[in-house]
Structure 1
Amino acid sequence: MKQNNTPSAVERNLLDNRFIGGLMKSKWYPGIIQWPTALVFFLIMYLLLLGPTMSHSNFGSALTWILWWPLIPLVFLLFGRFWCAICPFGTINDLVQKYVGHNRPVPNFLKKYGVWIIMAAFIAITWADNVFGVIKSPWASGVLLLLILTGVVISGVFFERRAWCRHLCFLGGMSSNYSQTGMLALRGTPEKCAKCKVTACYKGNDKAPGCPMFEFPRTMDTSGQCNLCGYCVKSCPNNSLTLTVRPPTKELWSIKKPRFAAALLAVVIMGILFVQNAAMLEIWQSILSGLEGVLGTDNNTILFTAAFTAAIGAPILLLWLASLAAKKINGETVTKNFARFGYAVIALSLAGHISHNLFHLLGEGGSIVAIGATFVGATASVAPGLFNGSIIQVLQYFVIILGIAGSLYTTYRIAKSNFPDKVLATVLPFGALILSLGIVNLFLASMPMTHRM
């Protein structure tokens, strides 16, 4: 019987495709997408800062919070960090660096503690949004973008490559985690790379710059920092790079060096999602009223800060307790269990993020058309909701259940790879954690939500 050696769809190198390979090897990529994206960004900045002061009539707010923000986690799932290749902040960083950059090495402090800075920024921005209403105020949203832009410019002036994107961008930190669940993987071919005597894929050559994210494609085993910018594809002299499709979450199963900070960021994002969801529910005021009785104050900032701290702290505590229980089973330290199995939470965290934003995208997406028509001096009678609320809720449940399944399977694969003799026993505490977090997500999705706009 003749053996079929044709590679499966999952194994096939997408760079062999005439369109995909031609695009990534073209000198026009990623610029052909970067510059239109940058133009839209500056239009949004103008509208946020100088347009209508109410979010429900500001086209910039609609594009940012009803379209872009809900779509971005889906992009991470389907295409990894592709957004980072065309992000206007990254484009501006490259432009600043080209003309006035000093290209100094990134300080060791940022390399070591950058993820902690990212985590703190994520928490601070979420806190500020809920206390000061950043999303509800176009001007405040514009100021936030200006502050980020200022940081990007300063980083581009002093440091080499995309230091901001790698070590300081809060969205980059989230995308680093989420893209590890992504369905695309860019990797070098080990057999070819082992014989290669040049480092053009990292340093660049006359065909393309070096990797902007400080990654060495020859040894890269994660998509967490790969922007799919295609520079290494262009500069590689051996045609070694491959772009393949993989099952979602697969990378999380085989993390060789799990990082405690990355695992912590996963559960912190989960806590942030809890409070972002809860703050849009009718029961939110009841929660604050209960805290008012406990804390003896009616100061909204104090009450929210207490609720926010509890929401972030709860998943951290649950993962720590699960890690403590696992220590007695597999003999690994609490810290190592926390780091290793914290990656399993990423799938559910991404699902919760997508589920929450489905409500805004599908429940308010029509407002983008209506507000856009007003922006160009026309009118459009479009209902805000693109789908019935019940349909949206079913989709939310479906996404969350997929996230639970993905996280449980990831937990199983991590345990199987590292503790083959104690798989089920190791899975139990972390499985209980995943199910608990999943139930909270399902409960929040079951409650009526308020609109952003």
Structure 2
Amino acid sequence: MSLPEKKLPGSSKKPFNFLDIPFINKFIKSKWYPGIFQWLGLAIFGLIIFELMTGTINPHRNWGTAMVWVLWWPIIPILFIAVGRFWCAVCPFGKISDIVRRLVGSESPMPKFLKKYGIWLIDISFIVITWADHIFGVVHSPRGSGILLLLLLTMVVATSVFYERRTFCKSLCFLGGLAGNYSRAGALELRGNIDICRTCKTQSCYKGSEKAEGCNMFQFVRTMDNSHECNICGDCIKNCPNDSIRITPRKPTMELWGIKKPMLEQSFLAAVIMGIVLVQNVTMLQIWEQILNGIGMVTRTTSYNVNFTIAFIIAMMIPIAALWYASKLGSKTYFDTSTKQNFIRFGYAYIPIDLAGHLGHNLFHLLTETKALYFTTLQFFGVYKSGNLAVVSDQTVQILQFALVGLGTWLSMYAVYRIGEKKSVKQLWPFYLLILIFGIVNFLLFTLPMDHRVH
């Protein structure tokens, strides 16, 4: 028998728990979850790889390209907001990792180096893959996209042969870093009842049982206070002998100001994502050529690779430097904290506006190129059609982008207010100004016409 559910702070009511719904509870505890989604995803992944590597090299006619860059990539941030890191539970790479470990895995402990520097490696891999996309034209090359996926798959298999659980997902996956940061702003959380967990002797949520493996992301529900590395895979729910665990809706972004141990590498990634979102948007605008020409006048070369790399580095350094300067101002004038401490704490306030810029960019592709999926799917059956790819007008997309930027800017400012422990505007103004500037920059970028990925 389980103890009464502990009420959330500041609430007089028991929090809503999706696991109180019998169907959901039974489904998550069954062998079908998340397996049914994993096997479906694995089948689709196989088709995508096949099409990318053997289908037409024309990215505008390749079904795999449309599935990855027109559907999956734009939808991913939406999933992170709605259901946290659920994608990581059903990701084909994760399922392949599980299969490899069961068949040939040695289950050696994760190396201490990965435990200590894993998030930094994720930051680096995210930067390198984004850079490589522009240098090698991955998005516009079916073969390039296929090779990238196969390289990642090779890394998954290699780490799964040697190391326990999902070492790759936790310490090396570039998408995992993005998922971890964005899921902090998500509307769903998995937590344990502290009163019940305190009396538990089995620790089966972490160690596992005959019902399921222990947490693949090395999380211990009793001490979990954030959603950064929870995949909502359900294994801990299957293993818990006391029904201590709940899956609860929450206000998006509320986790950002309640982090007990903020980390430099996570705040750094939040700042880097802001720079990458900006450069991703700028490269799709007409002014991009002017920017490259301006850099070329300084470097005295017309090499795209050289000039883009410089622009890419500058774009990432701007939000990092801006956050550092704001942190320095705050530390020097109003806070009894160091610049580094402020950088770490307030870096998380970037996340909502990161999401807004990312979603706005992806929304353009999703809503103005969606029919590419329909046309490329017809090609499987020998039917060749073409036409307008958009489901809404560019003007409608632009209005939605403006709304997202406005909402993201406000949420980031509110995060500053809460992270700053509700201090006055006079005390927090460097961080408010920081967010406002990037909000305006994103707004201005979305006023300009963008190029499509497929035509």
Please give the TM-score of this superposition, normalised by the length of structure 1.
0.96
**Counterpart selection for 2:66 from 62, 83, 87:** 62
Is the CA contact 1:70–1:360 (under 8 Å) kept in the aligned structure 2? Answer: yes
Question: Where does residue 16 of structure 2 map in the other structure?
Answer: 12
Going from structure 1 to structure 2, the CA distance change for 1:382 and 1:14 (only over 3 Å counts) comes to: farther
**Counterpart selection for 2:167 from 141, 144, 163:** 163
Greater alpha carbon shift after TM alignment, 290-299 vs 389-398: 290-299
Shift of 1:142: 0.3
Going from structure 1 to structure 2, the CA distance change for 1:381 and 1:132 (only over 3 Å counts) comes to: closer
Q: Do structure 1's residue 337 and structure 2's residue 342 form an aligned pair?
A: yes
Is the CA contact 1:369–1:382 (under 8 Å) kept in the aligned structure 2? Answer: no
Question: Where does residue 271 of structure 2 map in the other structure?
Answer: 267
Question: Where does residue 104 of structure 2 map in the other structure?
Answer: 100
Going from structure 1 to structure 2, the CA distance change for 1:152 and 1:134 (only over 3 Å counts) comes to: same
**Counterpart selection for 2:248 from 229, 233, 244:** 244
> In structure 1, what residue type is equivalent to 2:433?
A
SS of aligned partner of 1:123 = helix
Aligned 1:420-439 pairs, distance under 5 A: 422-439=423-440
Aligned 1:318-333 pairs, distance under 5 A: 318-328=322-332, 329-333=334-338
Shift of 1:378: 2.3
**Counterpart selection for 1:415 from 390, 411, 420:** 420
Distance between the aligned counterparts of 1:8 and 1:292, measured in 2? 62
Distance between the aligned counterparts of 1:28 and 1:15, measured in 2? 16
Aligned 1:223-372 pairs, distance under 5 A: 223-328=227-332, 329-372=334-377
Q: Do structure 1's residue 30 and structure 2's residue 34 form an aligned pair?
A: yes
Shift of 1:19: 2.5
Distance between the aligned counterparts of 2:112 and 2:381, measured in 1? 49
SS of aligned partner of 2:67 = helix
Q: Do structure 1's residue 397 and structure 2's residue 398 form an aligned pair?
A: no
Shift of 1:424: 2.9
SS of aligned partner of 1:244 = strand
Structure 2 stretches lacking a partner, 5+ long: 1-6
Distance between the aligned counterparts of 2:78 and 2:241, measured in 1? 33
Distance between the aligned counterparts of 1:442 and 1:168, measured in 2? 33
SS of aligned partner of 1:243 = strand
Greater alpha carbon shift after TM alignment, 80-89 vs 440-449: 440-449
Distance between the aligned counterparts of 2:148 and 2:386, measured in 1? 32
Distance between the aligned counterparts of 2:301 and 2:291, measured in 1? 14
Question: Where does residue 4 of structure 2 map in the other structure?
Answer: none
Q: Do structure 1's residue 406 and structure 2's residue 411 form an aligned pair?
A: yes
> In structure 2, what residue type is equivalent to 1:376?
F
Is the CA contact 1:177–1:346 (under 8 Å) kept in the aligned structure 2? Answer: yes
SS of aligned partner of 1:56 = coil
Question: Where does residue 43 of structure 1 map in the other structure?
Answer: 47
Is the CA contact 1:9–1:245 (under 8 Å) kept in the aligned structure 2? Answer: no
Distance between the aligned counterparts of 2:18 and 2:443, measured in 1? 36
Going from structure 1 to structure 2, the CA distance change for 1:24 and 1:276 (only over 3 Å counts) comes to: same
Shift of 1:23: 1.7
Is the CA contact 1:89–1:149 (under 8 Å) kept in the aligned structure 2? Answer: yes
Structure 1 stretches lacking a partner, 5+ long: none
Instruction: Provide Cα deviations, 1:309-339, integer angstroms capped at 9, x if missing partner.
Output: 1100100000000000011210211111000
Question: Where does residue 86 of structure 1 map in the other structure?
Answer: 90
Question: Where does residue 199 of structure 1 map in the other structure?
Answer: 203
Question: Where does residue 210 of structure 1 map in the other structure?
Answer: 214
Distance between the aligned counterparts of 1:9 and 1:387, measured in 2? 42
Q: Do structure 1's residue 111 and structure 2's residue 112 form an aligned pair?
A: no
Instruction: Provide Cα deviations, 1:270-293, integer angstroms capped at 9, x if missing partner.
Output: 101111111010110011111111
Distance between the aligned counterparts of 1:372 and 1:293, measured in 2? 45
Shift of 1:298: 1.1
> In structure 2, what residue type is equivalent to 1:450?
D
**Counterpart selection for 1:172 from 164, 171, 176:** 176
Aligned 1:72-83 pairs, distance under 5 A: 72-83=76-87
SS of aligned partner of 1:452 = coil
| Residues matched between the structures, number | 445
> In structure 1, what residue type is equivalent to 2:264?
F
Question: Where does residue 153 of structure 1 map in the other structure?
Answer: 157
Question: Where does residue 194 of structure 2 map in the other structure?
Answer: 190
Shift of 1:382: 5.0
Is the CA contact 1:183–1:245 (under 8 Å) kept in the aligned structure 2? Answer: yes
Instruction: Provide Cα deviations, 1:81-108, integer angstroms capped at 9, x if missing partner.
Output: 0000000000000000001001011111
Is the CA contact 1:187–1:241 (under 8 Å) kept in the aligned structure 2? Answer: yes
Shift of 1:114: 1.1
Shift of 1:195: 1.3
Aligned-residue sequence identity (percent) comes to: 49
Distance between the aligned counterparts of 1:426 and 1:359, measured in 2? 37
Distance between the aligned counterparts of 1:448 and 1:9, measured in 2? 49
Question: Where does residue 132 of structure 2 map in the other structure?
Answer: 128
Is the CA contact 1:10–1:245 (under 8 Å) kept in the aligned structure 2? Answer: no
Instruction: Provide Cα deviations, 1:237-288, integer angstroms capped at 9, x if missing partner.
Output: 0000011100000110111110010000001011011111110101100111
Distance between the aligned counterparts of 1:215 and 1:41, measured in 2? 27
SS of aligned partner of 2:189 = strand
Distance between the aligned counterparts of 2:107 and 2:166, measured in 1? 10
> In structure 2, what residue type is equivalent to 1:448?
P
Please give the TM-score of this superposition, normalised by the length of structure 2.
0.96
Going from structure 1 to structure 2, the CA distance change for 1:213 and 1:291 (only over 3 Å counts) comes to: same
Shift of 1:405: 0.9
Going from structure 1 to structure 2, the CA distance change for 1:315 and 1:241 (only over 3 Å counts) comes to: same
Q: Do structure 1's residue 441 and structure 2's residue 436 form an aligned pair?
A: no
Question: Where does residue 144 of structure 1 map in the other structure?
Answer: 148
SS of aligned partner of 1:450 = coil
SS of aligned partner of 2:434 = helix
SS of aligned partner of 2:110 = coil
Distance between the aligned counterparts of 2:316 and 2:427, measured in 1? 25
Going from structure 1 to structure 2, the CA distance change for 1:62 and 1:8 (only over 3 Å counts) comes to: farther
